[in-house]
Amino acid sequence: MPACADQEMLLTGLVDGELDAANSALVEAHLARCDGCREELERIQAVRALLGGRGVRHKLPDALAQRIAALPELSPARPPRRLPGWLAPGVAGALAASLLMVTLLPPGNQSVVDQELVSDHVRSLQPGHLTDVQTTNQHIVKPWFNGKIDFSPPVPELADAGFPLAGGRLDSLDGKTVAALVYHRRLHTVNLFVWPEAGRSERSFAKDGFSVREWSRDGLRFAAVSDIPAAELAQFQALFVQRSG
């Protein structure tokens, strides 16, 4: 039985220890119910054990080892240059001011909603939690929210730019029901949470390996969460805003 196409890279990452805790838990949950992926995981582990066995790795020739050992030691690193006496007080003052700002701000300067965004994103990645309506058709996702929430989120088509629509669902932030639009980026998921709120500025932050970007438009607040690079999430935001009219 073949492994699931969307899990093959994750299986390799699991064996190599490259996945974070959230994605490791997701893959292990998938393995519990998928025979094909379990067989593929066993094959990867067997190949890795074989390659690490004796007689497979290339042994460094003795002559080369002796030549490397005879190389002169590298010179010690150059000591750091001292700041000019007239500049040191200014740098010290700036550093003290920065530390004071960090001390006075609340941890991460994040609201309750900000703190829930990543946990809601991770929870959505559990099997069966990602979408309530699963479709790539924006004309199905947008009217699906009618009667379920008292606002209408924009649902632009972004597939040609590398962010295909996957569906939508209802979610909760700070005890309020919000819309969650689901897009994909290669094998990654982008959750876009939408709820009524105006007057807040754009901001971005990272938490537990996930990037978050927030912005407001037309009386709605948007928050995109994903484990893709922050630059790609910024690209997603720009495309979404541009194509939302």
User: For 167-189, what is each residue's pLDDT tens digit?
Assistant: 999 999 988 999 999 999 999 99
Backbone φ and ψ for 128, nearest 5 degrees, come out as 85, 5
User: Do 117 and 43 belong to one domain?
Assistant: no
Domain-embedded: residue 219:
yes
* Dihedral sign of CA atoms 207, 228, 28, 159 in order: positive
Domain-embedded: residue 148:
yes
Position 108 confidence tier, pLDDT thresholds 50, 70, 90: very low
3-state secondary structure of 223: strand
Domain-embedded: residue 184:
yes
- Please state whether the predicted TM-score (pTM) of the whole model is above 0.75: no
Position 102 confidence tier, pLDDT thresholds 50, 70, 90: very low
Enter the tokens of residue 54: 């004796």
**Which domain covers residue 16, as residue numbers?**
5-51
Contact, 37 vs 7, CB < 8 A? yes
User: Do 139 and 47 belong to one domain?
Assistant: no
Domain-embedded: residue 106:
no
3-state secondary structure of 20: coil
Q: pLDDT tens, 215-237?
A: 999 999 999 999 999 999 999 99
- State the pLDDT at residue 89: 56
Distance, CA of 19 to CA of 11 (rounded, Å): 9
Q: Which of 38-47, 73-82, 109-118, 154-163 has the lowest mean pLDDT?
A: 73-82
pLDDT: which is higher, 52 or 198 = 198
Domain count, the chain: 2
User: Do 236 and 128 belong to one domain?
Assistant: yes
Domain-embedded: residue 83:
no
Q: pLDDT tens, 115-131?
A: 789 989 999 998 888 99
The percent of residues above 70 in pLDDT, for the chain, comes to 80
User: Do 45 and 122 belong to one domain?
Assistant: no
Domain boundary among 36, 51, 66: 51
Backbone φ and ψ for 134, nearest 5 degrees, come out as -105, 110
3-state secondary structure of 99: helix
